[in-house]
Chain A
Amino acid sequence: MTEKAFPSIQGAVCAVPLRHHDTIVMGHGSGGRMTQELIQQVFQPHLSDPELLAGNDFAAISANAAGGTRLAISTDSHIVYPLVFPGGDIGRLSVCGTVNDVAMSGAIPIGLTAGFILEEGLSTALLESIVVSMAEAAKEAGVQIVAGDTKVVEKGKADGLFINTTGFGWIPRDTIINGANAKPGDVVLVSGTVGDHGIAVLAARGELGLETEIRSDVAPLNHLIREIVSSAPHTHVLRDPTRGGLATTLNEIACQSRVCITIREDLIPIQPAVSAACEMLGFDPFYVANEGKVIVILPPDEADAALKAMQANPYGHNAAIIGTVSESPQSRLLLKTRIGGTRILDILAGEMLPRIC
């Protein structure tokens, strides 16, 4: 009887062939082999940071060589529907949203973590395309995705996919940029047209029957912000007007800084098609979401330099000065209308809904 040679493990393959699933199944969330397969097949080809590939349950990040001692850290969960829309997808959104939040402190974003909640039945090809999108956005922003997690929930419990990203970066020494910093006399700028993202996503949902070329403006703004801050080193406030739009974000700043902000309707950039969609549905474009715009509030003597810097950047070519900061009435946002009236712009109350009245 011939002795069977003990099989060599080197180069062995599992007798049951690795399966490629077209859709996510509950097993992918088990934490076992199927989870590993998913990570190897769908995530690792595109996300290759050494800390991520090291396979630990943590990423080790070095202290800032430039000496900044404060860490800006921000987290966001992304639940957009549809998952893919003109101009981007949930992947790009999850990277850019968090990179931008970190950058709004004046910090240079270094890295992100990404947590995925996958719905059973999600197409694996779609998931992969979203991961590719994240990798591309991260590359554009110059950040690494250093840690991640995936879980799977039963069909019907996750709208396809939820992504949470947490980002971080070191704030340069002596940088004080935050929402409580606006001062009377300051000038308010916005980096481009408002309302693009909200209308693009709404149209993509298909429920209102709108056909349009409007695309989401979702973009990483950290490089633009670097350019703004170097041309205007005394910038007081940076914030991106995401959910709730320009008006909600400016209200937040007015309240944090206890000032009055007045903006002029005729100066706010808006694409004609976005304006048209808002007119049809009865939306106020100042409350429609943006994902690739920044509000800049700074002393008047630095406004022109900041404006020039923004307009020279592809993500700021429609930048404009839109208003000013004054002392009172405190914590108030006012709009000077095109025809010379003045009205209060409150924060968004609840969901904006299409109206017939």
Chain B
Amino acid sequence: MCLAVPGKITEILENPGLKMGKVDFGGVIREVCLEAVPEAQLGNYVIVHAGFALSVLSEKEAQDSLAAFRELGDLETELSPSQPD
């Protein structure tokens, strides 16, 4: 289940009673229901499933986790014995 992809909110639509927005997934734009992410603002990335935003993506958490995975590689280089010249 759960095919959901991240996209950037490029427009918040004036829609009485139902918060909708336009989300850009990297060259493809679609209308998305933002009712479940009332805190979402223009420029935020949201995770979208079946035309419905489930969560605002934390860009900080994303960057932190990527940095941590990169560090794993650096750690490995440090730990491995030095190569002979």
- Are A and B co-members of a single complex? yes
A residues near B, CB below 8 A? 203, 208-214, 271-277, 279-280, 282, 355-357
A282 touches B3 (CB 8 A): yes
A274 to B49 alpha-carbon distance, docked (Å): 18
A213 touches B50 (CB 8 A): no
B5 touches A280 (CB 8 A): yes
A355 to B49 alpha-carbon distance, docked (Å): 10
A280 to B5 alpha-carbon distance, docked (Å): 6
B27 touches A280 (CB 8 A): no
A277 touches B50 (CB 8 A): no
Q: Is B1 positioned at the interface, with any CB of A under 8 Å from its CB?
A: yes
Report B36-85 residues with CB < 8 Å from chain A CB: 48-51
Q: Select which of A209, A276, A355 is within 8 A of B27 by beta carbon.
A: A276
- Interface flags for B1-41 (1: CB within 8 Å of A; 0: not) read 11101000000000000000010011111110000000000
B25 touches A280 (CB 8 A): yes
Q: Select which of A276, A355, A356, A357 is within 8 A of B28 by beta carbon.
A: A276
State the Cβ distance, A151 to closest chain B Cβ, in Å.
Answer: 39
A160 to B30 alpha-carbon distance, docked (Å): 28
Q: Select which of B2, B3, B30, B50 is within 8 A of A210 by beta carbon.
A: B30
A211 touches B28 (CB 8 A): yes
Q: Which 5 A-B pairs have the closest CB atoms?
A: A273-B27, A276-B26, A211-B29, A276-B25, A212-B28
B26 touches A356 (CB 8 A): no
B49 touches A356 (CB 8 A): yes
A209 touches B3 (CB 8 A): no
A277 to B30 alpha-carbon distance, docked (Å): 10
A213 touches B27 (CB 8 A): yes
B27 touches A279 (CB 8 A): no
A209-B31, A209-B51 are known contacts. Are A355 and B3 too (CB-CB below 8 A)? Answer: yes
Q: Across the interface, which residues of A come within 8 angstroms of B2, CB to CB?
A: 356-357
> Beyond the given A212-B29, A276-B28, A356-B1, could you list 10 further A-B residue pairs with CB under 8 A, ordered by the A residue number?
A210-B28, A211-B22, A211-B28, A271-B27, A272-B27, A276-B5, A279-B5, A280-B5, A356-B2, A356-B50
Q: Select which of B1, B28, B48 is within 8 A of A277 by beta carbon.
A: B28
A357 touches B1 (CB 8 A): yes
B3 touches A214 (CB 8 A): no
State the Cβ distance, B32 to closest chain A Cβ, in Å.
Answer: 9
B31 touches A356 (CB 8 A): no
A279 to B1 alpha-carbon distance, docked (Å): 14
A356-B3, A357-B3 are known contacts. Are A272 and B29 too (CB-CB below 8 A)? Answer: no
A272 touches B50 (CB 8 A): no
B27 touches A212 (CB 8 A): yes
State the Cβ distance, A184 to closest chain B Cβ, in Å.
Answer: 36
Q: Across the interface, which residues of A come within 8 angstroms of B22, CB to CB?
A: 211
Q: Select which of B1, B5, B30 is within 8 A of A211 by beta carbon.
A: B30
Q: Across the interface, which residues of B come within 8 angstroms of A212, CB to CB?
A: 27-29
A272 to B31 alpha-carbon distance, docked (Å): 19
Q: Across the interface, which residues of A come within 8 angstroms of B50, CB to CB?
A: 356
State the Cβ distance, A119 to closest chain B Cβ, in Å.
Answer: 31
Q: Across the interface, which residues of A come within 8 angstroms of B5, CB to CB?
A: 276, 279-280
